[in-house]
Amino acid sequence: MFTKELLAEIRERFAFVNTDPLKQEKRLYFDNAGGSLRLRSTIEKFAQFDLIPDHPQRNHEAAKYLAEVEQRGIDDTRVIFNAKEGSIATYLTASQAIFEITGKIAENIEGTNIVTTALEHPSAFDAAKYYADKSGKEFRVAKTNPVTGGVDVEEITKLIDRDTSFLSVIYASNISGAILDIETIVKEARKIKPDLFIIVDSVQHAPHGIIDVEKTPVDVMNFAPYKFFGVRGCGVAYLSERAASLPHHRLFGKADSDLQLGSPVPAHFASISEIVNYVCWIGSKFSIEQDKRSLYVEGMKQIALYEKALLEVMLNGTDKVKGLRNIPGVTVHLDYEDLSKRDFIVAISIAHLDFQEAVEQYEAEGVVVYERTASSIYSKRMLESFGMKGAVRISPLHCNSVEEIEEFLEVTERMVEKSVQRTPLS
């Protein structure tokens, strides 16, 4: 657990951490897998630099300053990925990044098949499917594991052969919270095809755990600043040197490794630097290291440990309130015991309540969660792979407290009691 003093400092850095922005009333925002609570500094820095009219690709003082801000943001993005080589590219969204880069690899790397998993976000799954159909390649989909909520390494590797064009795989599920073993997947996949191109969608995992392209040498990895306490309107991708050198939309006067099109937005890079500074600040509370990557790793480690502690409370309760596992009428789906392999996401259902009704009742109690149903394009394939029709998804953040988790559990107990009272005996 964080100390009370550190948690208070953390909470102060976030906007609307326990307040409805419209009603200005108390609420619990537990939908960080869909949106995310925002660091005040990321918004402030974005506004500060976006007000400056100067173009960073000029030669006067203000322009040079903005160019420095941009370069610092790129360097800080490399800290997040631990990317000493390769290229950093920005897009309007992380989904656009994965879709466009998938296309460039599919169009330029020979092979007779493409491999992905049933757990993927539509931006990755649909991109792989679109280019498999377009190029006449076989489309192979690894099955999910309904116990762990993830995908087993062998389910992926058994689909890979010497003729696989590329593998596209998610880092962590935004339904179950399951973290895939990317390091082992990369090692085992490249035993089969040493030069296999690998694309990893890390949008869900990046705000909750350490990503490291030195340790997991993939060709593409992305994240979304807006799900990482930052601003909307930007998606960020790392590309290996060989991925960046493939034919891309590019300005021919630039270096092959420079994939940026149009005018850069220093404000976006300033915002990313604030994310890194924040995580490093947490790291500095636990480490005397001075190296930025070391502090960043320590910060993300502490965030992950604290979130897993909160997850333990949510599942098992405290001496004040029952956990979700122990509330009669609540089913915890994909409830894998090893919490070290899960990000802070819980999927539940409540007896006698459909998913949308449960979400509405939570909102009436001042709690924001989200329903994942098979009618949604963002949920259908994943849910059906687990044999589920839907779930209420709960996704708090490391700025939440034990008391807020207890409050959520009390609300859940009341909802269950009401649903039982209103349901006639058969």
pLDDT tens digits in sequence order for the chain, 426 residues long: 999 999 999 999 999 999 999 999 999 999 999 889 999 999 999 999 999 999 988 999 999 999 999 999 999 999 999 999 999 999 999 999 999 999 999 999 999 999 999 999 999 999 999 999 999 999 999 999 999 999 999 999 999 999 999 999 999 999 999 999 999 999 999 999 999 999 999 999 999 999 999 999 999 999 999 999 999 999 999 999 999 999 888 788 788 778 888 777 999 999 999 999 999 999 999 999 999 999 999 999 999 999 999 999 999 999 999 999 999 999 999 999 999 999 999 999 999 999 999 999 999 999 999 999 988 888 999 999 999 999 999 999 999 999 999 999 999 999 999 887 776 544
Cβ neighbours of residue 339 under 8 Å, at least 6 residues apart? 308, 311, 312
DSSP 426: -
**In the β-sheet with 330-333, what is the strand arrangement from edge to edge?**
330-333, 346-350, 390-394, 370-373
**Sign (positive or negative) of CA dihedral 99, 102, 108, 112:** negative
Torsion of CA 350, 354, 355, 357, to 10 degrees: -100
> What domains are there in the chain, each with its CATH number?
4-39+292-419 (3.90.1150.10), 44-277 (3.40.640.10)
Cβ neighbours of residue 386 under 8 Å, at least 6 residues apart? 144, 146, 149, 175, 176, 333, 334
Q: Distance from first CA to last CA of the chain, Å, rounded?
A: 46
- Which amino acid appears at position 367 of this protein? V
pTM: 0.94
C-alpha 154/C-alpha 158 separation (Å) is: 6
C-alpha 270/C-alpha 88 separation (Å) is: 15
